[in-house]
């Protein structure tokens, strides 16, 4: 198809492009195939187009973005010695996460734990009974100013709303939430109040300051530095409200060579190596994962970070800044694959469905059922489960014989 065809006016209609998606894909496949993955991703991002190379886990670990942010942590273990492990999913400026001890050996702390449980058992029961009498939601009485858009931010703030926090979602009439015309907007903005303020206008800035003064935290998932350029850096927010907690959710992180790159969940999924692991060894790349897991993982990790920062805020009156980079939130969930690479230099590949050799199950496997492409996965571990399966098979065989 000639290049000039895409310049015709009908291609400006999204519905038209969707209806002719195969033609568009064919054109882009021919074009993209002229470049290396790194080269194309960099050129696309220079034009603010969301693109990222599909890495292996090892390429992600060795990437300049990971190295520049010193995300991997070096730990000591009594057996394997010093090794590199995945970093943390979020960063809290005043109460950072820490690894205080290595992974335990089998039963290493058993005596210590049993002694503590014996000593504090009655106290724990008393605390549990007290908590059962408390009916107020955990975050009741707290207020959030929510500037998030798209998926990860609204989902994370919605979770906090379910725990009782008052969520005031801010939008602007000039740039409303892109999901507003879709059902997903209603799904991810339940338990919230809505307000429009133009943060570029002097009056809007003053209204925003008044809202910050009465809030406990401010959350945004803009590109790196957007809120600061509007005049609302963390220092500026603290000048309005010294106890304020600010949460930022950059896709790639606030620092590093990719900090200004456009981030969507699928690009992050490709960059951190998870998409390369998703499927069978011979699965075409277009059939790999279709769910933007970094958005979902980032939302949950952000909510957990807020809970920790609020506890510190209530005890000390101090606010802090939380950086919840979605790339690292997803990376923190890939421990076994990352450790196998950093410790053993083994690169994981897509495995698809495989029965685990030596697994304590019998039967164990994926079995076809009657009909078109119907399957079940079955595992019997205990003698009771085995006897139940025998009874089921016996009943099925008896029924078939009677029918026959």
Q: How confident is the model at residue 363 (pLDDT cuts 50, 70, 90)?
A: confident
Mean pLDDT of 88-102: 93
What is the model's pLDDT at position 225? 79
pLDDT (tens digit per residue) in 134-180: 678 899 999 999 999 888 899 999 999 999 999 999 988 765 666 66
Separation between Cα atoms, residue 248 and residue 325, nearest integer Å:
8
Q: Is 178 exposed, middle or buried (0-12, 13-18, 19+ CB in 10 A)?
A: exposed
Separation between Cα atoms, residue 326 and residue 266, nearest integer Å:
11
Residue 345 tokens read as 């230099």
What is the model's pLDDT at position 398? 47
pLDDT (tens digit per residue) in 299-328: 999 999 999 999 999 999 999 999 999 999
pLDDT (tens digit per residue) in 185-224: 788 888 899 999 999 999 999 999 999 999 999 999 887 7
What is the model's pLDDT at position 290? 79
Q: In CATH, which of 3.40.190.10, 2.40.10.340, 3.40.50.1860, 3.40.50.10540 is domain 49-97+139-352? A: 3.40.50.10540
Q: Which residues make up the CATH 3.40.50.10540 domain(s) of the chain?
A: 49-97+139-352
Dihedral angle sign, alpha carbons of residues 333, 335, 338, 342? positive
In SS3 terms, 93-106 reads as CCCCCCCCCCCCCC
């Amino acid at each position: 198809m000639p290049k000039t065809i895409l310049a015709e006016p009908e291609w400006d209609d999204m519905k038209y492009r969707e209806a002719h998606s195969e033609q568009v894909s064919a054109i882009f496949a021919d074009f993209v195939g002229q470049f290396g993955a790194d080269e194309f991703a960099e050129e696309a991002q220079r034009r603010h187009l969301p693109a990222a190379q599909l890495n292996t886990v090892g390429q992600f670990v060795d990437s300049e973005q990971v190295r520049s942010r010193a995300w991997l942590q070096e730990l000591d273990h009594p057996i394997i010695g010093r090794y590199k492990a995945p970093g943390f999913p979020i960063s809290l400026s005043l109460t950072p996460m820490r690894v205080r001890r290595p992974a335990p050996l089998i039963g290493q702390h058993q005596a210590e734990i049993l002694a503590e449980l014996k000593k504090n058992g009655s106290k724990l029961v008393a605390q549990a009974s007290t908590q059962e009498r408390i009916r107020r939601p955990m975050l009741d009485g707290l207020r959030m100013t929510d500037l998030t858009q798209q998926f990860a931010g609204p989902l994370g703030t919605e979770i906090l709303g379910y725990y009782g926090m008052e969520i005031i979602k801010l939008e602007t009439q000039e740039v409303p939430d892109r999901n507003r015309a879709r059902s997903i907007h209603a799904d991810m903005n339940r338990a919230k109040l809505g307000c429009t303020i133009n943060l570029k206008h002097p009056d809007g800035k003053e209204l925003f300051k008044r809202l910050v003064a009465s809030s406990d935290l401010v959350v945004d998932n803009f590109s790196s530095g957007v809120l600061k350029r509007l005049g609302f850096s963390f220092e500026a927010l603290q000048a309005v409200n010294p106890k304020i907690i600010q949460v930022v959710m950059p896709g790639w992180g606030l620092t590093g060579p990719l900090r200004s790159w456009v981030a969507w969940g699928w690009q992050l999924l490709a960059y951190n190596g998870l998409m390369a692991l998703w499927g069978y060894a011979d699965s075409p790349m277009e059939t790999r994962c279709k769910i933007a897991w970094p958005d979902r993982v980032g939302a949950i990790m952000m909510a957990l970070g807020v809970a920790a920062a609020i506890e510190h805020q209530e005890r000390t009156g101090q606010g802090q800044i939380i950086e919840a980079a979605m790339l690292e939130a997803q990376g923190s969930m890939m421990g076994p694959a990352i450790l196998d690479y950093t410790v053993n230099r083994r690169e994981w590949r897509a495995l698809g469905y495989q029965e685990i050799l030596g697994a304590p199950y019998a039967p164990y496997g994926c079995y076809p059922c009657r009909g078109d492409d119907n399957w079940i996965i079955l595992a019997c571990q205990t003698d009771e489960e085995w006897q139940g399966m025998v009874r089921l098979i016996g009943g099925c065989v008896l029924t078939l014989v009677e029918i026959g």
